[in-house]
A and B are shown apart, each in its own frame.
Chain A
């Protein structure tokens, strides 16, 4: 558990730092801009942030930190849910500004008293008074004792108000605030920042012309969330720094949730976190999922049971079957031998990862420039394809190789150079030879330069010939001849070389990009329980209810409940029968008929063991059971009481669901 928490923390830190970095550029732009602004209208920055509202918190926090450091100590973050009316907004604003001030200055107690006083009567004038007092204070103090950061701040620093979620503010409040503050812009230099989730159009839709003319808006675009995702995948999954890996299906689930549901990076991270938790909770061998330096220690401390666990792994079994018989026996009986072997295997796995990542990047360099992207544009698609099965057996890979064989020289050379760079930077040891080889290719290409120019001359001359002849017949004839000659002509040196390169890349791919599930002991580091993950993150409560009501035997393992076809056994729980009967109805259901149908079904089920004697009491009991079932259906939201007709209920679902 502790390892896992460590891992978790490490991971999150990494993510946060990354996110901050990705925003920093954007933030710098805005801060710069805030510095520059000084005009009669209220300067406003509109940040278009995309629909993933959940990720914006981090952005705003980063932004306010940067602003605080560089420009002004007065920042207020306003959220729509805190500001239903203009009064609340002012209150919140005052409170935040004054608290901000105290945060920065760390003033004495007397100011605290003032703050609490001010909180009671929050109006623009008191805000201005406060602001004047503050600025005066900074002015009157001696330069040496000035505010700690006044060298960086201006004499009258602007007050920045950030509206986190522009869309959810009520129009009236926003308009009023803007109009009020525009009246006081001389005394109180305000800067507004709107966080916009949809498009800048919303400003004009929310604010009438008279109000928006008071603003001086500049638009800022943030990175799209898809780019965030690809960088995160790049940093998290395609490194060898984290021993924990995601299996293909899990990754697919996470990416699907991201792309088809919410575009939220935070949710992606949550899913990733959850898979870590699940992995370390459910897989007994996950203790071995650690950095290479710790492997030896941990392998040696394995207990006998854990060794048995290793032996039970399917990938390990496959491995054992391939060994000779004496070694097999040793592996299956001798714990110490097993431990040694495991250590070796884990090291292999580690090396495999390193190689995998760099070769994957190389392949991506090649495939990402091909027309129509047969293997996908993003590296994550390539990664998924490689994890799924042997990539060289797919049609897409075949077609991309075909396309690669038709690349022109300059592209090929730049690609090779990129590959060399990637391989150089990777820590794997096996690539020395590969790099050599690639460099050799490069030099060969340079040597080819001269020859190809000759070649070009030749082709040019033939073209000139073509241009000379004008009449159609001759033209056709020469064209045919040209074609013939080209077919019969031996491949040029360049083409030969090109084939060679592509084949070499192909061989690399075949060697290094074998899917992870074929590796021995991959279960230790790969998490593959996609269904569990999907169940927890993207649940479908309605489907669960539907199956429970339609096929109760799915949950209740009783033979009496099993039933073929679409029907339902009359021994099913009451609520299932009632539900089934209600499915047959239209929009309105007559309670009396429903009750009668129910009692018919139930009576038929109980006929064998019940006497007709106590039929009256039986009726009452059935009535009671019916009432219970109906009110349960009402609680579940399938029906609701209706006033349209007496003793009817309205159905809220339709069809068979």
Chain B
């Protein structure tokens, strides 16, 4: 009962900690930003290079750990054949481990590797690769459910068919949806499909309800490897890495350098205007009429039409965004954060 008491106390603490963490809406952190750090942002490539140079800490110990896990391979095979599916959890990338399992044991059998961390993977592509490559079926299906039905039918008819499916990161963004999990679970419940998957997210088990769990028939294996998530995080858009989605300074410069001086002037004008108003949070952008007026005064355009053509070009390069205000007037905005914009203007000044 003492242990119970301790446990209860711990639970109580947990609850209190939760409310403590969420009690005040005010957050006490300093206001420093990365911009003020005056350091260039690393991009994906340099990051990769830098990390390659640094030696992996505790390589020997990690190798020992991996060897421990590898000794389980034959056991996994046995258990897969007995109708269980295997799920690996623990800290560290399990990519290499699964790859090793594949190369050492599955060389001669039909197997499918699914890279769940790949951002554009879908269940449909998994099912497609099964139907097209494993079952040699050419043809399309109306819905994944139909496709699944077809696969199940084929596998039930032909008992000689066997398929090993290895899924890296079953809990990735693309596969964690309810429907995809349902389909994968049904797939894995087929006796001649053997599934090995790895999960990393702390809340990954929340994906599965009772029904799915029983379809999956998991055996859990803890495989803490401590190896870095190289592949998995290479698609993760981190805050600290330059994101390809939003506009970065380098690309901004690049595009603008290929434009005519007048076009550059137009953009500059807009940028300056936006920076002047940056302290006003309700600033809707520059209205087209005002902007036209300003451009005319600076002798940058001579007609409404040329400005419109120029703006279309900007929009195609995602340099500006237009928004229609409440009064029906078109407002123009540059969808770049102010600091980048400041940097840009400074650079421009240097060039001129």
Indicate if the CB atoms of B27 and A586 lie closer than 8 Å: yes
Within 8 A of B (CB), among A174-191: none
Indicate if the CB atoms of B214 and A54 lie closer than 8 Å: yes
Indicate if the CB atoms of A636 and B201 lie closer than 8 Å: yes
Indicate if the CB atoms of A590 and B30 lie closer than 8 Å: yes
Interface string of B2-17 (1 = CB under 8 A from A): 0000000000011001
Q: Smallest Cβ distance from A458 to chain B, in angstroms? A: 49
Indicate if the CB atoms of B51 and A281 lie closer than 8 Å: no
Indicate if the CB atoms of A649 and B82 lie closer than 8 Å: no
Q: Smallest Cβ distance from A534 to chain B, in angstroms? A: 10
Chain B residues positioned under 8 Å from A657 (CB to CB): 14
Which of A81, A542, A621 contacts B202 (CB under 8 A)? A542
State whether the Cβ of A411 lies closer than 8 Å to any Cβ in chain B.
Answer: no
Closest residue on chain A to residue B28 by CB atoms:
A586
Indicate if the CB atoms of B240 and A541 lie closer than 8 Å: no
Interface string of A28-60 (1 = CB under 8 A from B): 000000000000000000000001111000000
Indicate if the CB atoms of A621 and B90 lie closer than 8 Å: no
Indicate if the CB atoms of B18 and A541 lie closer than 8 Å: no
State whether the Cβ of B57 lies closer than 8 Å to any Cβ in chain A.
Answer: yes
User: With A556-B61, A649-B239, A654-B18 given, is the CB distance from A548 to B91 under 8 Å?
Assistant: yes
State whether the Cβ of A647 lies closer than 8 Å to any Cβ in chain B.
Answer: yes
Indicate if the CB atoms of B226 and A548 lie closer than 8 Å: yes
Chain A residues positioned under 8 Å from B18 (CB to CB): 654-655
Which of A82, A542, A646 contacts B145 (CB under 8 A)? A82
Closest residue on chain A to residue B82 by CB atoms:
A277
State whether the Cβ of B21 lies closer than 8 Å to any Cβ in chain A.
Answer: yes
Indicate if the CB atoms of B17 and A573 lie closer than 8 Å: no
Indicate if the CB atoms of A654 and B21 lie closer than 8 Å: yes
Instruction: Say which size band chain A's interface belongs to.
Output: 35 or more
Q: How far is the CA of A511 from the CA of B178 in the complex (A)?
A: 57
Query: Interface size (B, Cβ < 8 Å)?
Result: 70
Chain B residues positioned under 8 Å from A646 (CB to CB): 33, 35
Indicate if the CB atoms of B236 and A621 lie closer than 8 Å: no
Indicate if the CB atoms of A539 and B220 lie closer than 8 Å: yes
Q: Smallest Cβ distance from B11 to chain A, in angstroms? A: 11
Interface string of B212-232 (1 = CB under 8 A from A): 011001011110101011001
Interface string of A627-649 (1 = CB under 8 A from B): 11011101111100100111111
Indicate if the CB atoms of A535 and B220 lie closer than 8 Å: yes
State whether the Cβ of A262 lies closer than 8 Å to any Cβ in chain B.
Answer: yes
State whether the Cβ of B254 lies closer than 8 Å to any Cβ in chain A.
Answer: no
Q: How far is the CA of A425 from the CA of B33 in the complex (A)?
A: 82
Q: How far is the CA of A277 from the CA of B219 in the complex (A)?
A: 12
Indicate if the CB atoms of A644 and B27 lie closer than 8 Å: yes
Which of B205, B232, B239 contacts A541 (CB under 8 A)? B205
Chain A residues positioned under 8 Å from B201 (CB to CB): 635-637
Indicate if the CB atoms of A636 and B202 lie closer than 8 Å: yes
Indicate if the CB atoms of B90 and A544 lie closer than 8 Å: yes
Indicate if the CB atoms of B214 and A628 lie closer than 8 Å: no
Chain B residues positioned under 8 Å from A538 (CB to CB): 220
Interface string of B51-63 (1 = CB under 8 A from A): 1011001100110
Chain A residues positioned under 8 Å from B233 (CB to CB): 628, 631-632, 634-635
Q: How far is the CA of A165 from the CA of B62 in the complex (A)?
A: 47
Q: How far is the CA of A627 from the CA of B48 in the complex (A)?
A: 11
Closest residue on chain B to residue A620 by CB atoms:
B50
Indicate if the CB atoms of A558 and B61 lie closer than 8 Å: yes
Indicate if the CB atoms of B222 and A544 lie closer than 8 Å: yes
Chain B residues positioned under 8 Å from A562 (CB to CB): none
Indicate if the CB atoms of B226 and A647 lie closer than 8 Å: no
Q: Smallest Cβ distance from B166 to chain A, in angstroms? A: 19
Q: Smallest Cβ distance from A569 to chain B, in angstroms? A: 12
Q: How far is the CA of A266 from the CA of B18 in the complex (A)?
A: 36
Q: How far is the CA of A442 from the CA of B39 in the complex (A)?
A: 96
Interface string of A492-523 (1 = CB under 8 A from B): 00000000000000000000000000000000
State whether the Cβ of A477 lies closer than 8 Å to any Cβ in chain B.
Answer: no
Indicate if the CB atoms of B65 and A555 lie closer than 8 Å: yes
Contact stretch, chosen from A267-275, A310-318, A357-365, A390-398: A267-275
State whether the Cβ of B78 lies closer than 8 Å to any Cβ in chain A.
Answer: yes
Chain B residues positioned under 8 Å from A545 (CB to CB): 89-91, 202
Q: Smallest Cβ distance from A273 to chain B, in angstroms? A: 7
State whether the Cβ of A293 lies closer than 8 Å to any Cβ in chain B.
Answer: no
Chain A residues positioned under 8 Å from B33 (CB to CB): 592, 646-647
Indicate if the CB atoms of A555 and B226 lie closer than 8 Å: yes
Within 8 A of A (CB), among B120-163: 145
State whether the Cβ of B42 lies closer than 8 Å to any Cβ in chain A.
Answer: yes
Q: Smallest Cβ distance from A140 to chain B, in angstroms? A: 34
Chain A residues positioned under 8 Å from B236 (CB to CB): 631, 634-635
State whether the Cβ of A204 lies closer than 8 Å to any Cβ in chain B.
Answer: no
User: With A539-B220, A624-B51, A630-B240 given, is the CB distance from A264 to B214 under 8 Å?
Assistant: yes
State whether the Cβ of A23 lies closer than 8 Å to any Cβ in chain B.
Answer: no
State whether the Cβ of B204 lies closer than 8 Å to any Cβ in chain A.
Answer: yes
State whether the Cβ of B305 lies closer than 8 Å to any Cβ in chain A.
Answer: no
State whether the Cβ of B182 lies closer than 8 Å to any Cβ in chain A.
Answer: yes
A selection of 21 A-B contacts at a CB cut-off of 8 Å is A281-B75, A535-B222, A541-B89, A541-B205, A545-B89, A545-B90, A545-B202, A548-B91, A548-B92, A558-B58, A558-B61, A592-B36, A592-B37, A628-B47, A628-B51, A630-B240, A631-B238, A634-B236, A635-B200, A635-B232, A635-B233
**Interface residues of B, Cβ cutoff 8 Å to A:** 13-14, 17-18, 20-22, 27-37, 39, 42, 46-47, 50-51, 53-54, 57-58, 61-62, 64-65, 75, 78-79, 82, 84, 89-92, 145, 182, 199-205, 210-211, 213-214, 217, 219-222, 224, 226, 228-229, 232-233, 236, 238-241
13 extra A-B contacts, CB within 8 A, seeds A267-B214, A544-B89, A647-B239? A541-B204, A552-B226, A556-B58, A561-B58, A573-B58, A586-B27, A621-B54, A624-B50, A631-B233, A631-B240, A636-B91, A637-B202, A656-B17
**Interface residues of A, Cβ cutoff 8 Å to B:** 1, 8, 51-54, 81-82, 165, 262, 264, 266-267, 270, 273-274, 277, 281, 535-539, 541-542, 544-545, 548-549, 552, 555-558, 561, 571, 573-575, 585-593, 595, 619-621, 623-628, 630-632, 634-638, 641, 644-649, 651, 653-657
Closest 3 CB pairs of A and B: A655-B17, A539-B220, A548-B91
